[in-house]
A and B are shown apart, each in its own frame.
Chain A
Amino acid sequence: MTVPAAALDPGTRSNRPARAPSLSRVRLAGVLGVLVLWEAAATLFARLATADFFPHLWTLAAAYGEVFSSRFATDVALTGYELFWGLLFGIGSGLLLGLALGLNHFAREIVEPLLVYLGTVPKIVLYPVLLLFLTVGVESKIAMAALSTFFPVVLHTITAATEVRPLWLSAARVLRASALQRLRYVYLPAMAPSVYSGIRLGIAAGIIGTLMAETKAAQGGVGYRVIYYYSQYDIPEMYAVLILVFVFSIALASVLGWIGRRLRLSDSDPAEEGALL
């Protein structure tokens, strides 16, 4: 529940909730406001010499024709391929190391801070290293995706292992759970929320990492497409692809969030979800 700010000055605001506009109307107003502002800017800048960076909405819509008639599907497929393997490696290695460290107190004490430090470094600056060791093709992107995915997954898995309270294990033991049963019925459900948010963040980080890498040096892919249009100065097309990327990321985040809530796994703070580079 929202704490009513009006509680502070009871006389004026609190007794007129009936006149408050409905949520959907406020939202609609917001969307329209953005569109109108954009158009206004487009019209204004069209008068000036540097006209192109606020294309009219209809120009933007038309750009999708150009984007889709190009080999965009191939780019999407390439990025999808890189992501699939990158996420697989990143999540797999993150889970393994996270579990190993979470269950070994001594190793964790030494290695976890190291991972935390490295986790704050923008992974993309390691991309040139990957380029030196791997090809400019899919390998370097897969490595980049895996690297980006790895850190959130490993750090959350370590946390998850520490969230298994000894008391739960004791309770399960007294209730006659065998070691295997404790693994299945205590460790697993107790760790799942944290691990899941690690995987969720990892997937988002992997997507960003891959796309960034593609904008820097690549022979194809969605990120490559963005930077290609940029270099050609096809600004509406660049916007068109970027909008698709944003819509996809947000939709994916919502779907993963929804699944988490369905499975009662969501425990992460939405504000933290941007730390993904």
Chain B
Amino acid sequence: MTTITNTKPAGPVTPAGRRDPRAVWRRRLRSLRGTAGRLVIVVALGAVLEWAVASGRISQVQLPRPTDMLRALVEGLLDGHYLRLLGVTLAETGVAFTAAAVVGTTLGYLLWRRPILGRAYEPALYALASAPIVLLYPVLLVVFGRNPVAVTVLGFLAGLLPVLITTFQAFQRLNPTYLKVARVMRLTDRQAFLRVLLPAAMPSVVVGLRLGLTFTLLNVLGMEYLAGIGGVGSEISLAYTRLRSDEMYGALVLSIALSVAFLLLLNRLTERVMRR
């Protein structure tokens, strides 16, 4: 491929890569600029709020000083309380997602192997994917009681559909030539699946898994808050009822950090898988 942006006809050629090191630096600088800009925005916002609360323009009850929030967050982390909450949330998410991944990919594949089922139920799956699954939480409370199991089941349900649908689509959109190639090479079903179909479908399946994990975490946190059970999400609800707004905001920052950390982690992982 032609690389337009960083070709320098007369410039020195680096032995290792052909990339111009100055261009790499420029790119790095630009991404640094973005990060710095965002940092400035967040810090400025924090400073404005700090000032607004300190000067009494916003009541302490509605919004503690950002510094107090951070103190609550750090204290919570240090005395192990938040770590326990994080543990519960991560455990729920982990179990729910693992189950969703196993069941979703299997069902998605089976649905494709039986085209009649796939065609019959595909619209229903899409419809369910746009349904407000999280509102089932009272049902799960009734069935499983007020405990982390109920949260886990909701996380499983929420993660299941995207995984299932994308797996089904991944196989369905496989280039038909792959199937022909497998046939021409006289591969057995098993070989064809392991050596041709699966590798070919993998990138899309990974996208589905990523989506599933995001949904699972969203729903776990959401239900924890709504039902007041489980980990980080429930802490927000409890602190609110205790009228401890600094603790509430601390837990809020914690759950935002958790979501963002997941996003960044997933970006890294999928980048790695996709790069192959």
Q: State if A and B touch, Cβ cutoff 8 Å.
A: yes
**Which A residues contact B (CB, under 8 angstroms)?**
2-5, 7-10, 20-21, 23, 26-27, 30, 52-53, 109-111, 113-114, 116-118, 120-122, 124-129, 131-133, 204, 207-208, 211-212, 215-216, 223, 226-227, 230, 235, 238-239, 242, 245-246, 249-250, 253-254, 270-277
Known A204-B130, A270-B130; further 13 A-B contacts with Cβ < 8 A: A2-B119, A8-B192, A30-B121, A109-B37, A111-B41, A124-B226, A125-B225, A132-B63, A132-B245, A212-B134, A223-B135, A246-B135, A275-B215
A7 contacts which of B116, B133, B162, B183 (Cβ < 8 Å)? B183
Which are the 9 A-B pairs with shortest beta-carbon distances? Answer: A110-B37, A253-B130, A26-B120, A270-B126, A271-B165, A230-B138, A277-B218, A128-B240, A122-B222
Pair B118/A277 contact, Cβ less than 8 Å? no
Question: What are 26 residue pairs bridging A and B, where the CB atoms are less than 8 Å apart in the complex?
Answer: A3-B171, A5-B115, A8-B189, A9-B189, A10-B183, A109-B33, A110-B33, A114-B38, A114-B42, A120-B263, A121-B259, A124-B222, A124-B226, A129-B249, A131-B240, A133-B62, A133-B63, A212-B226, A216-B237, A246-B135, A253-B131, A271-B129, A271-B165, A271-B169, A274-B133, A275-B214
Chain B residue numbers with a CB within 8 Å of A10 are 183
Pair B131/A3 contact, Cβ less than 8 Å? no
Segment among B9-17, B19-27, B91-99, B172-180 that sits at the interface with chain A:
B172-180
Say yes or no for B198: interface residue by CB 8 A criterion.
Answer: no
Q: Nearest residue in B to A25 (C-beta to C-beta)?
A: B120
Chain A residue numbers with a CB within 8 Å of B121 are 26-27, 30
Pair B142/A226 contact, Cβ less than 8 Å? no
Chain B residue numbers with a CB within 8 Å of A253 are 127, 130-131
Say yes or no for B211: interface residue by CB 8 A criterion.
Answer: yes
B interface size (C-beta, 8 A)? 78
Pair A3/B63 contact, Cβ less than 8 Å? no
B135 contacts which of A8, A245, A254 (Cβ < 8 Å)? A245
Pair B262/A120 contact, Cβ less than 8 Å? yes
Pair A128/B165 contact, Cβ less than 8 Å? no
Bound CA–CA A129/B262 (angstroms): 23
Pair A208/B62 contact, Cβ less than 8 Å? no
Given contacts A110-B37, A120-B214, A270-B126, contact A211 B132 (CB under 8 A): yes
Pair A5/B113 contact, Cβ less than 8 Å? yes
Pair B135/A208 contact, Cβ less than 8 Å? yes
Contact flags B98-133 to A (C-beta < 8 A → 1, else 0) = 000000000000001111111111001011111111
Contact flags B212-249 to A (C-beta < 8 A → 1, else 0) = 00110011011001100000010011001000010011
Bound CA–CA A215/B132 (angstroms): 13
